[in-house]
Amino acid sequence: MKKKITIDDIAKKLEVSKTAVSFALNGKAREKLISTELENKILAYVEEVGYKPNHSAQSLRTGKTKLIALMVEDISDPFFSTIARLMEEDAYKKGYKIFYRSTENSLQKTRELIDIFRSMQVDGYIIAPPVGIETELENLIKEGYAVVLFDRTLPGIELNSVTVNNFQGSYMAVRHLIASGYQNIAMITLSSEQIQMADRQRGYKQAIDEINKPYLIKNVIYHDQKENCIAEMIKFFRSHREIDAVFFTTNYIADNGLEAIRNLKLHIPQDIGVVVFDDYNFYRLHSPPVTAVAQPIKEISDQVINMILKLLLSNENKKTVVNVVLSTELVIRQSALLKTTSVLP
Amino acid sequence: MKKKITIDDIAKKLEVSKTAVSFALNGKAREKLISTELENKILAYVEEVGYKPNHSAQSLRTGKTKLIALMVEDISDPFFSTIARLMEEDAYKKGYKIFYRSTENSLQKTRELIDIFRSMQVDGYIIAPPVGIETELENLIKEGYAVVLFDRTLPGIELNSVTVNNFQGSYMAVRHLIASGYQNIAMITLSSEQIQMADRQRGYKQAIDEINKPYLIKNVIYHDQKENCIAEMIKFFRSHREIDAVFFTTNYIADNGLEAIRNLKLHIPQDIGVVVFDDYNFYRLHSPPVTAVAQPIKEISDQVINMILKLLLSNENKKTVVNVVLSTELVIRQSALLKTTSVLP
DNA sequence: CTGAAAGCGCTTACAG
DNA sequence: CTGAAAGCGCTTACAG
């Protein structure tokens, strides 16, 4: 293996002190009274030989790795993978590297990941947290790490976060179904205590209450087999023949739900109207195209990175907790356009 | 920030030498003549206080980071994200962490990433390489890094790789169209020099040659706007009215192609048969479900991780180059079932 | 087994 | 500005 160039090599070659080299590299030349001439000479040589500082040595010395952990539910989910990509680009421009892994919404897996990231000595954590991880997050905060939540918050714990208005998004989605003439609207959601799911449910209930109809709610299990999940939904639709529209609260559920609807040979939007929370490239392609609540992905990413960078760079110990809430957008396609628009209550 | 426990703290507390602690931690107790009793005492204490070694210090000292870089075209592509997840799990069990980023198939971006990973001092590289990166890869090899290619190889450079038989997969796909009664079969592919694309093209041509039909090939551009790409395809289909089936060589192209077909109001499989290279959850859900060439994702992941671990752990300098080629499977659904099966030549 | 020591490559306070 | 020095937390060869 080729020998790596070190600061010592450069200092010797240039016959300067390695202090000077280090200062030049870190942009501290002016502050430390190094002449511009010397600074340029050093930087030119560094460029010429392609010197790259040893990251391990820097981290060991400074105690900072310039690494940020990103933990999402499932990195192969289009929502999370798109966000991850935006974040990594953004963070890199600021000198940070992002390391991402999937929690699979499992408490144990998340704990394992936190352990891994701890041993890697990451400086900060960006997390779409599973319920129950509160204590571990509090410990991270106590130990001085930067922590930012996104996608969901955790009730009962005060942490910086970036989320969307799930209540409003769901409410608008169900109102759209009502305005399109649907009356017996079901919601299929996860049997999960996650706050964003609870908020989506509240949005549904609010809209249903306004038309004095009963709730038609079916919970499915996150880790269930795809086939079971579909079978459960089919059973639900069969035992509630009155259902003429359905609101799926995640992509994941909608994938299965659309398959259930196909198995039942129901036609969208004539037999059943469909709206999904979270937009997805694929919905444009579906027959018919699926109406969805779109989250502002780019904006979420920007806000999260800005927030964590601010935490990482500030020295103050007492930090104000900031919770950013962004709005969603209803992307209307053909899956929920049934009748002429009725008058809403 | 809470003070981290170090090996020194443990040694002092237990009144043993830090040499002993280090040996116990690294499982070198027996070899180094440390008593099992002492070893257990140390390990028990380590467990109790939750000591985690400082990764930067270990890396600085050993020159190994136990980090592997994974570079794929686009981590939000379902094929690559699924593979990445399988690989990270597998590697972690062996004590390695995988860091993945998207090359976007750009030479410049890939070079930047290699620079980033170099400065992070990763021990090995797993790459789905863009054409033109040969020199950089050769440099990595020369410097002693472990390098494994997957998804595609690079002609003119001898490197360890795991790929599928793209020729055979494509050939079978087009044969399936022919067997279903289609006669004028187009191929839509990337205008790319990548070897896997060339092989898919060869498979198509071989099958078309066997029925003495002309090639109907349309190239699209990888980085093109979605809308342009769709418009290009529509133009192509309109100027070749004889086309009764189409073979898309990637998911990405098929996404756009299916939209083009919808815009043209063509019915699958009656007006046009469709087969895609690379399977995708969504194809089960599509109306009609899409026939696809499935790659053995789990097997690819296993082979790659085994291969790189072998490279990482062996001390020999002259290593035999290994090229693993796996077979694909044609998953037959409804998008290419037109007529009764005809007799193939 | 122990224990002192060197050294990985950096950063930075300090004396001049 | 320079230059010697300490120290981050580890691993490991070495003398006993």
Q: Are strands A329-331 and B185-190 parallel, antiparallel or unpaired?
A: unpaired
Q: Does residue B76 belong to the interface with chain A, where contact is any CB pair within 8 Å?
A: yes
Q: Any bridge partners for residue A267, and if so which? A: none
Is the CB of residue B11 inside 7 Å of nucleic acid strand D? no
Instruction: Quote the pTM value.
Output: 0.80
Q: Are strands B291-294 and B329-331 parallel, antiparallel or unpaired?
A: antiparallel
Protein-covered nucleotides on strand D (Cβ within 7 A) = 1-5, 7-14
Contacts of A53 in chain B (CB under 8 A): 119
The 3 state secondary structure assigned to A162-228 is EEECHHHHHHHHHHHHHHCCCCCEEEEEECCCCHHHHHHHHHHHHHHHHCCCCCEEEEECCCCCHHH
Contact B287 A284 (CB under 8 A): no
Average pLDDT over residues B314-322: 76
| Total beta-carbon pairs less than 8 A apart between chain A and chain B | 99
| A311 compared with A343, residue with greater pLDDT | A311
Q: Give pLDDT tens digits for A114-130.
A: 988 887 789 999 999 99
Contacts of B97 in chain A (CB under 8 A): 99, 116, 120
Q: Which of B239, B241, B195, B189 is nearest to B219 (CA)?
A: B189
Q: Which of B303, B128, B78 is nearest to A77 (CA)?
A: B78
- CA–CA separation, A336 vs A140, rounded Å? 45
Q: Are strands B216-220 and A185-190 parallel, antiparallel or unpaired?
A: unpaired
- CA–CA separation, B196 vs B249, rounded Å? 10
Q: What is the average pLDDT value for chain A, to the nearest integer?
A: 89
- CA–CA separation, B67 vs A240, rounded Å? 53
State the residue for tokens 């003439």. Answer: A181
Average pLDDT over residues A279-285: 85
Contact B55 A118 (CB under 8 A): no
Q: What percent of chain A is modeled with pLDDT above 90?
A: 59
- The model's confidence at residue B77, banded by pLDDT at 50, 70 and 90, is confident
Average pLDDT over residues B132-147: 92
Contact B85 A97 (CB under 8 A): no
Nearest-Cα distance to chain B for A92, in Å, is 10
Is the CB of residue B116 inside 7 Å of nucleic acid strand D? no
Q: How far, in whole angstroms, is CA B227 from its chain's centroid?
A: 27
Q: Does residue B55 belong to the interface with chain A, where contact is any CB pair within 8 Å?
A: yes
Helices in chain B by DSSP H: which ranges?
Answer: 7-14, 18-25, 36-49, 55-62, 78-93, 107-119, 134-142, 166-179, 195-210, 226-239, 251-263, 281-285, 297-313
Distance A36 CA to C10 C1' (A): 23
- The model's confidence at residue A339, banded by pLDDT at 50, 70 and 90, is low
Q: Does residue A94 belong to the interface with chain B, where contact is any CB pair within 8 Å?
A: no
Distance A12 CA to D4 C1' (A): 15
Contacts of B286 in chain A (CB under 8 A): 285-287
Q: Which of B151, B153, B155, B177 is nearest to B164 (CA)?
A: B151
Handedness of CA A222, A224, A226, A231 (dihedral sign): negative
- CA–CA separation, B278 vs B132, rounded Å? 24
- CA–CA separation, A317 vs B75, rounded Å? 36
Per the CB < 8 A criterion, the answer to whether B259 and B237 are in contact is no
For residue A13, what are the CA distances in angstroms to A5, A27, B13, B142, B268? 11, 20, 45, 25, 70
Is the CB of residue B327 inside 7 Å of nucleic acid strand D? no
User: What pLDDT, on the 0 to 100 scale, is given for residue B29?
Assistant: 67
Q: Give pLDDT tens digits for A134-189.
A: 999 999 998 889 999 999 999 889 999 999 999 999 999 999 999 999 999 999 99
- CA–CA separation, A205 vs A190, rounded Å? 15
Nearest-Cα distance to chain A for B277, in Å, is 17
DSSP B218: E
- CA–CA separation, B313 vs A163, rounded Å? 44
Nucleotide nearest to A16 (CA to C1'): D2
Nucleotide nearest to B6 (CA to C1'): D9
DSSP per residue, A73-114: S-TTSHHHHHHHHHHHHHHHHTT-EEEEEE-TT-HHHHHHHH
Distance A19 CA to D1 C1' (A): 10
User: What pLDDT, on the 0 to 100 scale, is given for residue A1?
Assistant: 43
Residue A105 tokens read as: 């919404």
Nearest residue of A to residue B2, measured between CA atoms: A143
From edge to edge, which strands make up the β-sheet containing A273-277? A216-220, A185-190, A245-248, A273-277, A291-294, A329-331
Residue A236 tokens read as: 């639900």
User: What pLDDT, on the 0 to 100 scale, is given for residue A225?
Assistant: 78
Q: Give pLDDT tens digits for B151-170.
A: 999 988 999 999 999 999 99
For residue B336, what are the CA distances in angstroms to A254, B288, B333? 26, 9, 7
Q: Give pLDDT tens digits for B33-65.
A: 667 788 888 888 888 888 888 888 999 999 899
Highest mean pLDDT among A89-98, A241-250, B32-41: A241-250
User: What pLDDT, on the 0 to 100 scale, is given for residue A284?
Assistant: 87
Smallest Cβ–Cβ distance between A60 and the set B57, B85, B143 belongs to: B57
Residue A202 tokens read as: 């509240």
- The model's confidence at residue B1, banded by pLDDT at 50, 70 and 90, is very low
User: What pLDDT, on the 0 to 100 scale, is given for residue A222?
Assistant: 83
User: What pLDDT, on the 0 to 100 scale, is given for residue A144?
Assistant: 86
User: What pLDDT, on the 0 to 100 scale, is given for residue B316?
Assistant: 64
Mutate to test the interface with A, among B54, B59, B72, B76 (most CBs of A within 10 A): B76
Nearest-Cα distance to chain B for A343, in Å, is 33
Per the structure, the residues numbered 175 to 234 in protein chain A that have their CB within 7 angstroms of any atom of strand D are none
User: What pLDDT, on the 0 to 100 scale, is given for residue A169?
Assistant: 98
User: What pLDDT, on the 0 to 100 scale, is given for residue A132?
Assistant: 93
Q: Which of B56, B53, B4, B2 is nearest to B24 (CA)?
A: B53
Q: Which of A115, A7, A104, A9 is nearest to A61 (CA)?
A: A7
- CA–CA separation, A295 vs B344, rounded Å? 50
Nucleotide nearest to B18 (CA to C1'): C3
Q: What percent of chain B is modeled with pLDDT above 70?
A: 94
- The model's confidence at residue A319, banded by pLDDT at 50, 70 and 90, is confident
Q: What percent of chain A is modeled with pLDDT above 70?
A: 94
Average pLDDT over residues B76-98: 87
Is the CB of residue A36 inside 7 Å of nucleic acid strand D? yes
Contact B75 A81 (CB under 8 A): yes
- CA–CA separation, A164 vs A151, rounded Å? 7
Distance B30 CA to D14 C1' (A): 19
Residue B42 tokens read as: 């140390």
CA atoms within 13 A on the CB side of B242: 8
Contacts of B60 in chain A (CB under 8 A): 54, 56-57, 60
Highest mean pLDDT among A72-86, A212-226, B33-47, B195-209: B195-209
Q: Any bridge partners for residue A189, and if so which? A: A219
- CA–CA separation, B92 vs B88, rounded Å? 6
- Numbers of helices and strands, H then E, in chain A: 13, 12
Q: Does residue A116 belong to the interface with chain B, where contact is any CB pair within 8 Å?
A: yes
What are the E-state strand segments in A226-301?
Answer: 245-248, 273-277, 291-294
Who contacts B297 (Cβ-Cβ below 8 Å, separation ≥6)?
Answer: B79, B82, B83, B86
Q: Give pLDDT tens digits for A2-52.
A: 567 888 888 888 888 888 888 888 887 666 666 778 888 888 888 888 888
